[in-house]
């Protein structure tokens, strides 16, 4: 038999002379105490036991946690930066819940007796899990922001005001829909290169983003700007002059560049990241096609601006190759399109290709972050490893 003491937050402990939870707390070695049913004894379905570590208890008592999930989903508990699955753990022992002696309805308050208000069959347990961000990607990709909306905004078109905002999502909408902590949700938006426009979080249509990037590169050549030292104000002003909004101009820098940390210029200097620019143009060339590697490389390098070198290894995790006879073909297979949960990720990968060499598989696993499970643990759980010779690449297949 387990005895659980139900205490009121902020209540001072008494010496236990009048029974209740305090009497059990102060029960001496070798002493005994009568246990009886409380007058309010019952199932009390709204009273649940929750097991949590000290850090979580502090967050819970200080109202720094939220429960998130829709009616058809299992709820998760979120702190500022982490997400926890809430699971019920049954217990073969009988757990007696005993309230304080001054609990309402206690008819034995003058007696040294512990009154049981409920017998619990188990408790809720919190297990840290990865944020469930696949729905975020699904929702934002349903309605990307493109050139059509831009034209409607600039023309003050009535259709723009009548757009279907039910398919758009504010921060509060996302918080109430996505099972992730605030910090994890912000990171998810950043990984999707999302931007807040008129209060709604949007991803930018690939073709419209291509227009902005091409104009930025054109201005770099026209104004003799270095790709490694772009002044934010100059870049944004030039794109605004080309009829792109200031927010989208700044967003383009964030998507394809990074801030220069060293030297002068404060936070206003940017450099274009060669890999991000080259990856964008690789997608433009391939689209949904399979191309001979030689043809792809030729077309790809035509699109890459002078001063940036494109190397095939930049495309890890975004394209794959396959042998067809004597030819090698390349096609788009992006890690961004894969599920974020390990079980679903490995299922999709092995359906696409039954056997993977490590050099091909690793780029599709880098972003998997599973609490308490290392990369080696993931591979042991979901794959079988074969290595015909000591000097050969290991090959992985589904477990």
Q: Per residue in 128-174, pLDDT tens?
A: 999 999 999 999 999 999 988 887 776 665 555 555 666 899 999 99
> 21 with 115, same domain?
yes
Q: What is the pLDDT of residues 288-333, one digit of tens each?
A: 889 999 999 999 999 999 999 999 999 999 999 999 889 999 999 9
Average per-residue pLDDT for the chain: 88
Mark which of 272, 306, 324 sits at the end of a domain: 272
The 10 Å CB-count burial string (b at 16+, else e) for 8-20 is eeeeeebebebbb
| Percent of the residues in the chain that have a pLDDT greater than 70, as a whole number | 89
> 191 with 177, same domain?
yes
Residue 315, in any domain of the structure: no
Residue 83, in any domain of the structure: no
Residue 285, in any domain of the structure: no
Tell me which range, 27-36, 53-62, 74-83, 265-274, is most confidently predicted by mean pLDDT.
74-83
Residue 85, in any domain of the structure: no
> 119 with 8, same domain?
yes
363: nearest Cα among 309, 314, 328: 314
The 10 Å CB-count burial string (b at 16+, else e) for 259-296 is ebeeeeeeeebbbbebbebbbbbbebbbeeeebeeeeb
Categorize the per-residue pLDDT at 9 as very low, low, confident or very high, splitting at 50, 70 and 90: very low
381: nearest Cα among 372, 394, 392, 391: 372
Q: Does residue 4 carry a pLDDT above 80? A: no
> 28 with 42, same domain?
yes
Mark which of 170, 202, 234 sits at the end of a domain: 202
Instruction: Give the per-residue SS3 of the chain.
Output: CEEEECCCCCCCCCCCCCCHHHHHHCCCCCCCCCEEECCCCCCCCCCCCEECCHHHHHHHHCCCCEEECCCCCCCEEECCCCEEEEEEEEEEEEEEEECCCCCCCCCCCCCCCEEECEEEEEEEEEEEECCECHHHHHHHHCCCECHHHHHHHHCCCHHHHCCCHHHCCCHHHHHHHCECCHHHHHHHHHHCCCEEECCEEECECHHHHHHHHHHHHHHHHHCCCCCCCEEHHHHHHHHHHCCCCHHHHHHHHHHHEEECCCCCCCCCEEEECHHHHHHHHHHHHHCCCEEEHHHHHHHHHHHCCCCCCCCHHHHCCCEEEEEECCEEEEEECCHHHCCCCHHHHHHHHHHHCCEEEHHHHHHHCCCCCECCECHHHHHHHHEEEECCCCCCCCEEEEC
> 176 with 223, same domain?
no
The residue-averaged pLDDT of 175-190 equals 97
Mark which of 202, 217, 242 sits at the end of a domain: 202
- Reading the block at residue 205, the tokens are 């249509």
Q: Does residue 237 carry a pLDDT above 60? A: yes
pTM: 0.84
Residue 317, in any domain of the structure: no
Categorize the per-residue pLDDT at 11 as very low, low, confident or very high, splitting at 50, 70 and 90: very low
Residue 13: the pLDDT is 45
For the chain, the domain total comes to 4
Cβ pair 358, 396 in contact under 8 A: yes
> 169 with 227, same domain?
no
Residue 306, in any domain of the structure: no
Residue 106: the pLDDT is 58
133 exposure class (CB count in 10 Å sphere: 0-12, 13-18, 19+): buried
Residue 298, in any domain of the structure: no
Q: What is the pLDDT of residues 67-122, one digit of tens each?
A: 999 989 999 999 999 999 999 888 888 788 888 777 766 555 556 778 888 888 88
Residue 15: the pLDDT is 46
Q: Does residue 1 carry a pLDDT above 50? A: no
Question: Cβ of 199: how many Cβ atoms within 10 Å?
Answer: 11
Residue 325, in any domain of the structure: no
Handedness of CA 113, 117, 122, 127 (dihedral sign): negative
Cβ pair 268, 308 in contact under 8 A: no
> 145 with 211, same domain?
no
> 144 with 186, same domain?
yes
State which residues form the domain around 191: 134-202
> 145 with 216, same domain?
no
> 99 with 8, same domain?
yes
> 106 with 211, same domain?
no
> 150 with 197, same domain?
yes
């Amino acid at each position: 038999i387990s005895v659980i003491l139900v205490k009121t937050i902020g209540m001072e402990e008494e010496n236990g002379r009048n029974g209740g939870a305090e009497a059990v707390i102060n029960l001496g070695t070798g002493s005994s105490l009568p246990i009886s049913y409380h007058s309010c004894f019952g199932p009390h379905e709204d009273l649940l036991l929750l097991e949590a570590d000290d850090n979580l208890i502090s967050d819970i008592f200080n109202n720094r946690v939220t429960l998130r999930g829709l009616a058809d989903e299992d709820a998760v508990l979120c702190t500022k930066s982490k997400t926890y699955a809430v699971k019920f753990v049954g217990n073969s022992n009988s757990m007696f819940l005993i309230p304080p002696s001054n609990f309402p309805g206690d008819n034995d308050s003058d007696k040294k007796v512990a009154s049981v208000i409920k017998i619990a069959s188990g408790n809720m347990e919190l297990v840290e899990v990865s944020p469930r961000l696949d729905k975020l990607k699904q929702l934002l990709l349903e309605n990307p922001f493109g050139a059509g909306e831009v034209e409607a905004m600039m023309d003050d078109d009535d259709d723009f005001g009548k757009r279907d905002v039910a398919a758009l999502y504010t921060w509060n909408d996302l918080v109430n829909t996505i099972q992730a902590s605030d910090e994890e949700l912000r990171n998810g938006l950043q990984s999707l290169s999302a931007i807040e426009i008129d209060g709604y979080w949007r991803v930018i249509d690939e073709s419209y983003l291509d227009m902005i990037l091409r104009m930025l590169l054109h201005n770099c050549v026209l104004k003799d700007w270095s790709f490694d030292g772009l002044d934010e104000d100059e870049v944004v002003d030039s794109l605004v002059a080309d009829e792109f909004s200031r927010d989208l101009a700044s967003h383009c820098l964030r998507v394809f560049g990074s801030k220069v940390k060293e030297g002068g210029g404060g936070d206003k200097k940017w450099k274009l990241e060669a890999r991000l620019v080259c990856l964008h143009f690789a997608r433009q060339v391939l689209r949904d096609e399979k191309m001979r590697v030689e043809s792809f490389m030729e077309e790809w390098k035509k699109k890459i601006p002078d001063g940036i070198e494109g190397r095939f290894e930049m495309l890890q995790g975004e394209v794959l190759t396959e042998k067809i006879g004597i030819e090698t073909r390349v096609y788009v297979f992006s890690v961004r399109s894969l599920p974020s949960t390990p079980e679903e990720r490995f299922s999709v990968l092995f359906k696409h290709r039954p056997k993977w060499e490590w050099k091909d598989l690793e780029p599709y696993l880098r972003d998997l972050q599973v609490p308490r499970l290392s990369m080696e643990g993931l591979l042991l759980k979901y794959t079988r490893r074969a290595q015909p010779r000591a000097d050969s690449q290991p090959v992985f297949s589904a477990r």
